[in-house]
Structure 1
Amino acid sequence: MLRRVFPPLLALVLGVFTLLVAGAPAQAAPVTVTNGTQFTDTTGAVVHAHGGGVIKVGAYYYWFGENRNPDNTFKAVSAYRSTDLKTWEFRRNVLTQSSAPELAVANIERPKVIYNTTTGKFVMWMHKENGKDYNESRSAVAVSDTVDGDYAWRGSFRPPSGTTSRDMTLFKDDDGTAYQVTSAAGNADLHIYKLTADYTGYDSLVANPWPNNFRESPALFKRDGVYFMLTSGTSGWNPNQQRYATATSLTGPWTPMTEIGDATAYGSQTAYVLPVQGTSGTSYLYMGDRWGNSMGGTVNDSQYVWLPLTFPTRTTMNLPWYPQVAIDTAAGTVTGVGGGPYYNLVARHSGKCLDVTDNSAADGANALQYTCNGGLNQQWRLQDAGGGYVRVLAQHSGKCLDVDGGSTADGAFVNQYHCTTGTNQQWRFDDQGGGYYRLVARHSGKCLDVANASTADGARLIQWPCGTGTNQQFQRPAV
């Protein structure tokens, strides 16, 4: 009897198991994404998710963003999904011009979606304009029962104070409380608002930490109990210096804004920071837009720049450049690929590394020697400047080794500064034998020198007439 019943039973169980497995996505394999490109979906069509945000539901990452008409006005908020953050499947246009009468002629920017576990609704917030100018400066809300379903329009409005609301983002804290961060007061301020329990309206203003700083494109995330706010300056479509601040409470106190990355965020602007959690931990992916409008095109010509954020300490952050980024969503790792080789520059007399003070990304941050420790602020890449000279770029910031003010004087300080065409940022590596080099500044003919031949941590780098001293000789082992 058991022999006669078991084969059909086994077939039924196996059939059900096969259906269940077929309906679930396979574990994502590691992928490599190339920066400064347009992405394509599984059909080969260009991915239009500009100014967007990502929410993870089950095994899938859902990416929402701007999709424009040829005249740059609103066409749709488009939704895509992926398990590996490279293979994007177009799901649908979840909000369109026909979703509400006021969307017929409009601009919708920076859509972000979060999930409300109490109401069971997916809630989208966005910046809404009239399609002609930036005079409306309103927030708007739409909701859906499913992450990639049609979103029902709930209207547009300004914050309770009546101030403007432009570039914005959403953040859901560990306790389920949701917040909107918006560029307010004509972009002069960044306001942090607590949302109502259903996430569809404003509850109260939580903080206005940087009045009159003119910041936009906010991205807010939390790591190890510390809130990070990453923003850009206001320069239209053109890229500019990104800055960030930290706090242990959203109400503050917040730190002042600190420079991060190079002077243009490598030609991009912050859209979102995505935590990628896996078996090896959590990494943080910078998602930036290289706007087509800054290159003579439109929003739909825009490219994407995705980079690994790194954290030298619990409250500090780097945005290094790599031409590609390797992502393993199963492991939770995001790492830079290519762009090297990268070198340490090790002073012969002290055995210490050329270092940018305090891991700073600021223009004018001191170049000094410090005990070698593997930090990105001690890693340097070389960029051809012609005539046998190179620019020497700090990997943590993308900024150049620079003789301050273009001075030709003995003892002039050497710092980091955003890269220019100046010859005070161009260096010739003169071979001194034994794997050591003198670095000769093109504008002055003088050598990079550890001041007073000091062996102490923190000794400044200067330029000085070239001699035979070992404090002017540097080894450059590849990292």
Structure 2
Amino acid sequence: MIAQRFFKIISPVLLACVAFFSVQMNAANKSFYPGKQWPDDKGVHVNAHGGGMLYYQGKYYWFGEFKSETTSSALVGVTCYSSSDLYNWKNKGIAMKVSDDEKSDITKGCIIERPKVIYNKKTNKFVMWFHLEMKGQGYAAARVGVAVSNQVTGPYKFVRSFRSNPGIYAANMTDEQKNMSLDVKNYEKWWTPEWYKAVSDGLFTKRDLKEGQMSRDMTIFVDDNGKAYHIYSSEENLTLQIAELTDDYLGHSGKYIRIFPGGHNEAPSIFKKDGTYWMITSGCTGWDPNEARMFSAKNIWGPWEKHSNPCVGEDAKLTFHSQSTYIQKVEGKKDAYIFMADRWTPKHPIEASYIWLPILFENGKPVLKWYDQWNLNVFK
């Protein structure tokens, strides 16, 4: 009898607690919590790493790498999430699946990184670009992959993978550089003044001229006039290249430039404000974080100017223990941009968290400050 009376008293309390926590778990997010687990509509941590964003018909679509428990190889594909407010995300499933065909470039076990989706108003197609490495070849392939869909959430059909602009020299290489005789066999010792000079003159551009330029960490940028650009780490991750896309966004037009040869930049992210292009990148230290770099230009084709690290405060020299992946404009707010980055956990890739921070401006330059919690009201 005592036990029954105790149960009658305690059970309503338990039910109330369960109800309270259920409401809390299902409550809509109204803030960003950088570095924390980010549950989707099913309560599962968002799995869209190295991601990019597309705003289409009033919604944001977040595309990213589906990470597994113990490997960063692609065992599933590219995921897609949707949101109307940037805080709360609905899992829309796998936008592009890896293939079970061992002969496919995107066979299960390959490496798919930094997927970016853009919409082509002329063809009404959604086009996905991503960094691709062949299964079992490490990072030797250094290719870019392209897939296309009639629907924003997919499924995306893989079109092809390739190296960038084979047989074409960069538009900002001089005739003297094009005619130089440079052979990598003569520069086996890296980081010497002679080697730096050779890299600047196009040592690796020439090496890869026939096959095409290497393309690893990348992003896609669509300008105000609809022109789209592929920005990627090339030449053994030593030099950034910016390549114009064809009007259908399915390939390169043949025009590209090299910027900061030998600078060792990767993880490019870019946005445009008041006619100035701003690019934030990272150094090349594998999965370990490093100090962010920032560049600007009045024209996409340069010249590009280098600035100091945009991060300020504690852990600024480690980009708050993260690496840039994308910069998203907040629709409906003036001069509002979000810096998107990943805090990698290579031993357990699926647990990697996201560092989203507002881009603020001081003395006309972008600044990144740490917030444990913030919302879009920070943009005034």
Same fold at TM > 0.5:
yes
Correspondence for 1:269: 323
Question: Is the counterpart of residue 324 in structure 1 residue 373 in structure 2?
Answer: yes
Cα deviation for residue 97 of structure 1 reads 1.5
Structure that is richer in strand per residue: 1
Cα deviation for residue 265 of structure 1 reads 0.6
Greater relative contact order (Cα 8 A, min sep 6): structure 1 or 2? Answer: 2
Q: Secondary structure at the match of 1:190?
A: strand
TM-score (norm. length: structure 1): 0.60
Counterparts of 1:309 and 1:140, CA distance in 2: 30
TM-score (norm. length: structure 2): 0.75
Correspondence for 2:105: 102
Counterparts of 1:317 and 1:323, CA distance in 2: 19
Query: Aligned match of 2:305 in 255, 260, 269?
Result: 255
Correspondence for 2:131: 127
Tell me which amino acid in the other structure corresponds to 2:45: V
Query: Aligned match of 1:287 in 340, 347, 365?
Result: 340
Correspondence for 2:187: none
Cα deviation for residue 334 of structure 1 reads 4.4
1:133-161 Cα offsets, whole Å, 9 max, x none, are 10111000000011002001011100014
Correspondence for 1:86: 87
Correspondence for 2:19: none
Runs of 4+ in 1 over 4 A off after TM superposition: none
Cα deviation for residue 257 of structure 1 reads 4.5
| Alpha carbons of structure 1 residues 40 and 207: separation in structure 2 relative to 1, 3 Å | same
Tell me which amino acid in the other structure corresponds to 2:134: N
Residues 30 and 327, structure 1, Cα contact 8 Å, conserved in 2: no
| Alpha carbons of structure 1 residues 257 and 159: separation in structure 2 relative to 1, 3 Å | farther
Counterparts of 1:131 and 1:298, CA distance in 2: 20
Q: What is the 5 A alignment of 1:227-242?
A: 227-242=277-292
Residues 180 and 193, structure 1, Cα contact 8 Å, conserved in 2: yes
Cα deviation for residue 57 of structure 1 reads 0.8
Cα deviation for residue 81 of structure 1 reads 0.3
Question: Is the counterpart of residue 196 in structure 1 residue 246 in structure 2?
Answer: yes
Tell me which amino acid in the other structure corresponds to 2:326: Y
Q: Secondary structure at the match of 2:350?
A: helix
Count of residues paired in the alignment: 298
Q: Secondary structure at the match of 2:65?
A: strand
Residues 210 and 256, structure 1, Cα contact 8 Å, conserved in 2: no
Query: Aligned match of 1:147 in 131, 149, 152?
Result: 152
Residues 189 and 214, structure 1, Cα contact 8 Å, conserved in 2: yes
Counterparts of 1:86 and 1:281, CA distance in 2: 19
Correspondence for 2:196: none
Cα deviation for residue 30 of structure 1 reads 8.3
Residues 325 and 334, structure 1, Cα contact 8 Å, conserved in 2: no
Q: Identity percentage over the alignment?
A: 38
Tell me which amino acid in the other structure corresponds to 1:138: R
| Alpha carbons of structure 1 residues 30 and 225: separation in structure 2 relative to 1, 3 Å | farther
Residues 241 and 260, structure 1, Cα contact 8 Å, conserved in 2: no
Residues 77 and 94, structure 2, Cα contact 8 Å, conserved in 1: yes
Say which one has the larger Rg: 1
Q: What is the 5 A alignment of 1:69-468?
A: 69-70=68-69, 71-74=71-74, 75-98=76-99, 101-104=104-107, 105-132=109-136, 133-161=138-166, 162-261=212-311, 262-278=316-332, 280-293=333-346, 297-314=347-364, 316-327=365-376, 334=379
Counterparts of 1:219 and 1:107, CA distance in 2: 20
Cα deviation for residue 203 of structure 1 reads 0.9
